[in-house]
Amino acid sequence: MCRWIAYKGQPVFLEHYITTAEHSLIHQSLHAEQGKTETNGDGFGIGWYGTRSEPGIYREVLPAWNDCNLKSLAAQIQSPLFFAHVRASTGTATSRNNCHPFSYGPWMFMHNGQIGGYEHVRRAMESQLDDYHYGRRLGTTDSELLFLLALQEDLQSCAVKALTKVLIKVRQYMLDKGVADALRFTSCLSDGKRLFGFRYASDKFAPSLFYRRYDNGDVVLVSEPIDRQSECWTEVPQGHSICFTENKVTLRELAF
Amino acid sequence: MCRWIAYKGQPVFLEHYITTAEHSLIHQSLHAEQGKTETNGDGFGIGWYGTRSEPGIYREVLPAWNDCNLKSLAAQIQSPLFFAHVRASTGTATSRNNCHPFSYGPWMFMHNGQIGGYEHVRRAMESQLDDYHYGRRLGTTDSELLFLLALQEDLQSCAVKALTKVLIKVRQYMLDKGVADALRFTSCLSDGKRLFGFRYASDKFAPSLFYRRYDNGDVVLVSEPIDRQSECWTEVPQGHSICFTENKVTLRELAF
Amino acid sequence: MCRWIAYKGQPVFLEHYITTAEHSLIHQSLHAEQGKTETNGDGFGIGWYGTRSEPGIYREVLPAWNDCNLKSLAAQIQSPLFFAHVRASTGTATSRNNCHPFSYGPWMFMHNGQIGGYEHVRRAMESQLDDYHYGRRLGTTDSELLFLLALQEDLQSCAVKALTKVLIKVRQYMLDKGVADALRFTSCLSDGKRLFGFRYASDKFAPSLFYRRYDNGDVVLVSEPIDRQSECWTEVPQGHSICFTENKVTLRELAF
Amino acid sequence: MCRWIAYKGQPVFLEHYITTAEHSLIHQSLHAEQGKTETNGDGFGIGWYGTRSEPGIYREVLPAWNDCNLKSLAAQIQSPLFFAHVRASTGTATSRNNCHPFSYGPWMFMHNGQIGGYEHVRRAMESQLDDYHYGRRLGTTDSELLFLLALQEDLQSCAVKALTKVLIKVRQYMLDKGVADALRFTSCLSDGKRLFGFRYASDKFAPSLFYRRYDNGDVVLVSEPIDRQSECWTEVPQGHSICFTENKVTLRELAF
């Protein structure tokens, strides 16, 4: 499994959550305690919103803990909303274009999970992309493909609806191809203003999703808690989405 | 344009043609004299036949002249038939999976040229791949796609026929999409025994293709002559294929 | 030769001078027109001052034109003072630690030139480093070594004096070892407030150094002019330093 | 701790011990069961003897499990004597020049262990190198430095004597600087004919060293057993060297 963290709140230096703290993502990428995959050494990425509507993206195939550029960038860049992701490949190659987060215009997406039998449904899914989104396919992961399909389903209008539609379709492709493995999808999405989390699986084992909300309104949304104050972390139940806007937290059951 | 060299003959250390000589491929990648593109710094690759039927493949995104691994490999590996390729990207990303040569079973392929308006015909071409070959698509280049399509056209039975079929189809896709740019295809192919060269363009400007045959039967097939003894190099005319077997050289006009 | 650009003025997006313009550094790294070395593909680096006193540093061994991270970073980061450097190695390895700029605390340094017979004087020069600066030696270039020696000569008090002292010493080591090749040193330095340029050679062939000052006080200091409006660029004469502060430009002859 | 394997015997494809087997080094680099360091993702290297007296060397900063080049090379290259090493850095940077094995002429060396307080004794050790060996220092690791010092102590005449001398000196430097941490040194060395192992520590915790000798004389020397047939593996006791020649195994106590 991959690991990731998303932050929304007062502008902070990225390093606070990515490189310096004891429970920063880098520390986690070396010592994955709760995930199935033992090491998250198959590339990483960060994405952040600055003064432009499109996020900045930095992705690299080295293990995050070995990248001195990441250390310097995380020490310089401040942002009110950013993602960081360390990858443990579930089969596809380690290349920058296969690293999360993925972005399109102001949207940014990262994912933890897997389409069961991806090699059997990949083609059917790719053929669903219209020419415009097909031309924006740069890597080979299921994650990027899910993001492109959601963009095509008008993610911009309603992110929850778009992703639900995509998951229903993918589930159908898997059934059509007789894939017995599960579809598991825990993900994070943003348009630079709102922060969304999704937690879904076709079986009972959706990858975990937690958040912590500080008194000042700052929010940290993560694949796993980054400290041991477990009472401070709220688990998003399977089959739900969560949305953080300036003042509100909205938890919704996904409608399948 | 890319640059490449292929060798068939007495086993030699790869370094002789790749790293050490004054006119080796590495020298050329720094000082491209005749090609249009000024520098071939967008990755490189080598492929060679050893004791197995499948070739060994080594590809890297660094400029060839900066790779100390290449120097050591070229000094160690001897082969009776090998390829080396330095890439100047015509648009697609620099990643190992986009570097030449491409291989499948005992077949190895490298290419210099371009499908005009590739972004407009790529999808139609990819949809022609059957599931089996679609699953073997690892990168995003036109070159790999042409190779997969040729494999599907039974390259194994007749390489010239298969590649001709593919080029005719690609030309048709380009016409269908109203692409005015040319299709240019100078390439090199081997099954570990025979060495094939192709030189084709839909206009008059097929990338160059030369060979030199030594008295002992050794053959060097190249995108451009690697020394200034121009009288020793034979140009393969546009619209032709050439095939080197143990004792024979066969030049054929491509049938369109 | 390497190529570089330094900017000091109103905060601008780095992309303006690094990635987008026709005469940006990336364009230049592919098409070196005036330099001796044909291609600057041996790594690159950027450094910029943000809200901290230490600059951010991003260095990579890929050719600059192939790095999608650079494109995104240059589009996001705004700075009132930054450096960018594309490297053409004069012998030492291509590694991130050998890429410019080099930094120490608030100081940042980049260099174009060469210590003649570096392999003969390197050891004597390294032995001049005190333990503290020896421990900060991360790469193997002459450039980093010159910077560390200058730091040790109290660069912080007077940059011009410190660098002059270092050059005099290096020249002496070269004479001691009977090195006939020249010492050539065109460089750029900053503490986040002032921008310094140096142009020196032990023969008549110091690498070029130009600047352009806009009406609003913005300054661009470069190894070569980045546009063809040659009347707008002022050449810094050999054997001189130049210093840009908030309101002043100070040209000084180097005292040897 | 790093992990490594060395093989001497009938020529085999490297893949047998490096990439394919359940207990190959790649499997181990992902699932380090006995070592202290949890993951060996800080680069790797292989070295092998072919038809030349100098070994071939291939080193890369990616985790070994992500390198498709390694898979192809290990499937092509056959050798009667080779090394493979996966690195877990003890502090120095991840760069190719810091990856093992190191080579000089026909000699090849790899190491598992650490010079306690290396940052305090590094300079004194480097100053012991004569100009010739100083010029051959390419990286910054303690391992490369130990190898260069041993070469200078006439490793070629007696490897055991040379390495013992170096360890005694290093121990002295550590005492001089008041370093309390241990010197730990388990290593592997070859000249292309003989295979040496060393296991030493200044405390009781020398990194482990095992070998397995097959009936046909093939030998595998490893940092940890690569299968669970523990009865087949012989542990080299701390404070000993072992040497495998064509017909003989010589275990010697190190003389300090």
Q: How far is CA A229 from CA A22, A26, A212, A214, A233, in A?
A: 13, 19, 10, 13, 7
Compute the nearest-CA separation of D64 from chain A (Å): 10
Dihedral sign (CA B37, B39, B42, B48): positive
Residue C231: partners with Cβ closer than 8 Å, 6 or more residues away: none
pLDDT band at residue C186, thresholds of 50, 70 and 90?
very high
Q: What is the CATH number for D79? A: 3.60.20.10
Amino acid symbol at B230: S
Mean pLDDT for the stretch of residues A221-240: 91
Residue D93 has pLDDT above 90, yes or no: no
Residues of chain D found within 8 Å of residue C140, distances taken between Cβ atoms? 138
Check CB contact of B95 with chain A, cutoff 8 Å: yes
Could you give the CA distance from residue A235 to residue C32 in angstroms, rounded to a whole number?
56
Taking the alpha carbons at both ends of chain B, their separation in whole angstroms is: 25
- pLDDT (0 to 100) of residue C145: 96
CA distance C188 to C186: 7
Query: Do B140 and A135 make contact, defined as CB atoms within 8 angstroms?
Result: no
D53 shares contact with chain B (CB less than 8 Å): no
C119 contact residues in D (CB cutoff 8 A):
135
d(CA B140, CA B134): 12
D156 inside domain: no
Question: Has residue A34 got a pLDDT over 50?
Answer: no
What residues contact B176, with CB distance under 8 A and at least 6 apart?
Answer: B121, B124
Residue in chain B nearest A137 by alpha carbon? B140
Query: Looking at beta carbons, which residues of chain A come within 8 Å of C77?
Result: 50, 56, 76-77
Interface test with D, best of C60, C98, C118, C140 (most D CBs within 10 A): C140
Min distance D42 CA to chain A CA atoms (Å): 7
Q: Report the alpha-carbon angle D114-D116-D122, nearest 5.
A: 90
Task: Identify the pLDDT of residue C126.
Answer: 93
* Nearest CB partner across the interface for B56, out of D48, D59, D73: D73
Q: Helix, strand or coil for residue D243? A: strand
- CB-CB under 8 Å, D63 with A42: yes
Q: What is the pLDDT of residues C155-167, one digit of tens each?
A: 999 999 999 999 9
How far apart CA C249 and CA D202 sit, in angstroms, is 60
Using omega within 30 degrees of 0 as the cis cutoff, is the peptide bond preceding D101 cis? yes
CB D73 within 8 A of CB B76: no
Task: Say what the pLDDT of residue D46 is.
Answer: 96
Phi-psi region of A43 (alpha: psi -120 to 50; beta: other; left: phi over 0): left
Nearest chain A Cα distance for residue D222, angstroms: 23
Looking at the complex, does the CB of residue A58 fall below 8 Å from at least one CB of chain C? yes
Coil, strand or helix at D113: strand
Chains touching B by CB (3 or more pairs below 8 Å): A, C, D
Higher confidence at residue B59 or residue D62?
B59
User: CB-based contact (8 Å) between B82 and chain D?
Assistant: no
Binary contact (D41, A38; C-beta < 8 A): no
Q: What are phi and psi of C144, to 5 degrees?
A: -60, -40
Residues D6-26: pLDDT tens digits?
999 999 999 999 888 766 777
Mark yes or no for CB contact B52/D76 under 8 Å. yes
Q: What is d(CA A237, CA D203) in angstroms, rounded to the nearest whole number?
A: 52
Q: In terms of DSSP H, where are the helices of chain C?
A: 15-18, 25-30, 68-76, 118-128, 131-134, 142-152, 159-176
Adjacency order of strands within the sheet including B219-222: B56-60, B44-48, B78-86, B3-13, B219-222, B210-213, B234-235
Report which of B13, B156, B73, B190 is spatially closest to residue D76, judged by C-alpha positions: B73
Q: Rounded distance, CA A145 to CA A162, Å?
A: 13
Q: Which residue has the tokens 């061994």?
A: C61
Q: Does A96 touch chain C (CB under 8 A)?
A: yes
Å between B120 CA and nearest CA of chain A: 9
SS (H, E, C) chain A: CCEEEEEEEEEEECHHHHCCCCCCHHHHHHCCCCCCCCCCCCCEEEEECCCCCCCEEEEECCCHHHCHHHHHHHHHCEEEEEEEEECCCCCCCCCHHHCCCEEECCEEEEEEEEECCHHHHHHHHHHHCCHHHHCCCCCCCHHHHHHHHHHHCCCCCCHHHHHHHHHHHHHHHHHHCCCCCCEEEEEEEECCCCEEEEEEECCCCCCCCEEEECCCCCEEEECCCCCCCHHHCEECCCCEEEEECCCCEEEEECCC
- Who has greater pLDDT, A202 or A40? A202
Please calculate the CA angle B164-B165-B167 and round it to the nearest 5 degrees: 65
Among residues B154, B17, B157, B149, the alpha carbon closest in space to that of B83 is found at B17
Q: Least CA distance to D66: which residue of chain B?
A: B96
Is the Cβ pair C93, D93 closer than 8 Å? no
Contact between residue B114 and residue B184 where contact means Cβ atoms under 8 Å apart: yes
Residues of D whose CB is below 8 A from A62: 61-62, 94
Distance to chain D for C14, nearest Cα, Å: 28
Residue D62: predicted pLDDT: 83
What is the arithmetic mean of pLDDT over C118-128? 92
The two structure tokens encoding residue B194: 């025979």
Q: Is A97 near chain B, with CB under 8 Å?
A: yes
User: C36, C94, C95, C140: best mutation site toward chain B, by most B Cβ within 10 Å?
Assistant: C94
In this complex, is the C-beta atom of B130 within 8 Å of any C-beta atom belonging to chain C? no
Cross-strand partners of B197:
B188, B242
Candidates A62, A76, A108: best to mutate against C (most CBs of C within 10 A) is A76
pLDDT class for D231, splitting at 50, 70, 90?
confident
- The answer to whether B200 contacts chain D (CB < 8 Å) is no
Return the bridge partners of D240, or none.
D199, D253
A92-101, B162-171, B215-224, D234-243: range with lowest mean pLDDT? A92-101
Looking at CA atoms only, how far is residue B109 from chain D in angstroms? 16
Please say whether the beta carbons of A139 and A97 come within 8 A: yes
B201/chain D closest Cα distance in angstroms = 33
For A221, list phi and psi in degrees, rounded to 5: -115, 130
For residues B235 and B209, the answer to whether their CB atoms sit within 8 Å is: yes
Q: Do C58 and A78 touch (CB under 8 A)?
A: no
C-alpha to C-alpha distance for C229 and C251, rounded to whole angstroms: 22
pLDDT class for C33, splitting at 50, 70, 90? very low
Nearest to D73 among B58, B68, B78 (CB): B58
How far is the C-alpha of C32 from the C-alpha of B30, rounded, in Å? 12
Is A68's CB within 8 Å of D93's CB?
yes
Q: What pLDDT does residue C37 have?
A: 46
- Residue at B128 is within a domain: no
Confidence bin at D90 (pLDDT 50/70/90): low
Per-residue pLDDT tens digits for C48-98: 999 999 999 999 988 888 889 999 999 999 999 999 999 877 667 778 888
Q: Per the structure block, which two tokens stand in for C135? A: 């421990």
Give the closest-approach CA distance of A195 to chain C in angstroms.
Answer: 20
Contact A110, A223 (CB under 8 A): no
Q: Is residue A219 a contact partner of residue A213, using CB atoms and an 8 Å limit?
A: yes
For C36-59, what is the mean pLDDT?
86
Which of the listed ranges A94-98, A236-240, D127-131 does the model predict with the highest average pLDDT?
A: A236-240
Query: C-chain residues within 8 Å CB-CB of A99?
Result: none
Check CB contact under 8 Å for B50 and D76. Answer: yes
At C112, the amino acid letter reads N
Give the gap in angstroms from C-alpha A19 to the nearest C-alpha of chain B.
Answer: 27
Q: Find all residues with CB under 8 Å of D175, minimum gap 6, and list them.
A: none
Query: Which residue in this structure is represented by tokens 């080796």?
Result: B24
Q: How far apart are CA C145 and CA D74, in angstroms?
A: 39
Asked if C221 contacts C197 with a C-beta cutoff of 8 angstroms, the reply is yes
Residues of A in contact with B141 (CB under 8 A): none
| Contact with chain A for residue B97, Cβ under 8 A | yes
Q: Helix, strand, or coil here: C230?
A: helix
The predicted model gives A225-253 an average pLDDT of 92
What is the sign of the dihedral through the CA atoms of B58, B63, B68 and B71?
Answer: positive
Segment C132-150, tens digit of pLDDT? 999 899 888 999 999 999 9
**In B, which residues are within 8 Å of A123 by CB distance?**
131, 134-135
Left if phi > 0, otherwise alpha if psi is -120 to 50, otherwise beta: which for D203? beta
Q: Report the relative pairing of strands B183-190 and B195-201 from DSSP bridges.
A: antiparallel
Choose the weakest-confidence range: A11-20, A36-45, B17-26, C224-233. Answer: A36-45
Q: Which of residues 104-123 of A touch B (CB under 8 A)?
A: 119, 122-123
Q: How far is A31 from chain D (nearest CA, A)?
A: 7
What percentage of chain D has pLDDT greater than the value 70?
93
Are C138 and D135 a contacting pair at CB < 8 A?
Answer: no
> Tokens at residue B15, please?
């370094």
Q: How many folded domains does chain B comprise? A: 1
Nearest-5° angle of CA D63, CA B44, CA B100?
100
Encode pLDDT of D104-119 as tens digits: 999 999 999 999 999 8
Burial B13-28 (b: 16+ CB within 10 A, else e): bbbebbbeeebbbbbb
Q: A interface mutation test: which of D3, D26, D30, D39 has the most A CBs within 10 A?
A: D39
Q: Is B132 on the interface with A (CB under 8 A)?
A: no
Q: Is the pLDDT of residue D34 over 50?
A: no
**Owning domain of residue A19:** 3-253
In the predicted model, residues of chain B with pLDDT beneath 70 are 22-23, 28-39, 90-91
Q: What is the dihedral of CA D38, D41, D42, D45, to 10 degrees?
A: 120
Work out the mean pLDDT of chain C and round it to a whole number.
90
Per-residue confidence (pLDDT) for residue A29, from 0 to 100: 66
**pLDDT given for residue B31 in this prediction:** 59
Contacts with A96 from chain B: Cβ below 8 Å:
95
Pair of tokens at residue C153: 């000569």
The Cβ of residue B242 has, within 10 Å, a number of other Cβ atoms equal to 22
Spell out the residues 6+ positions from residue B121 whose beta carbon is closer than 8 angstroms to its own: B115, B170, B173, B174, B176, B177, B179
Whether the bond into C101 is cis, omega within 30 of 0: yes
Q: β-pairing, D44-48 with D56-60?
A: antiparallel
pLDDT, position B27: 72
Token reading at A28:
């986690």
Indicate the angle between helix axes D159-176 and D142-152, nearest 10 degrees: 120
For residues D101 and D56, is the Cβ–Cβ distance under 8 A? no
Instruction: Return the number of CB contacts < 8 Å for B and C.
Output: 37
Nearest chain C Cα distance for residue D166, angstroms = 21
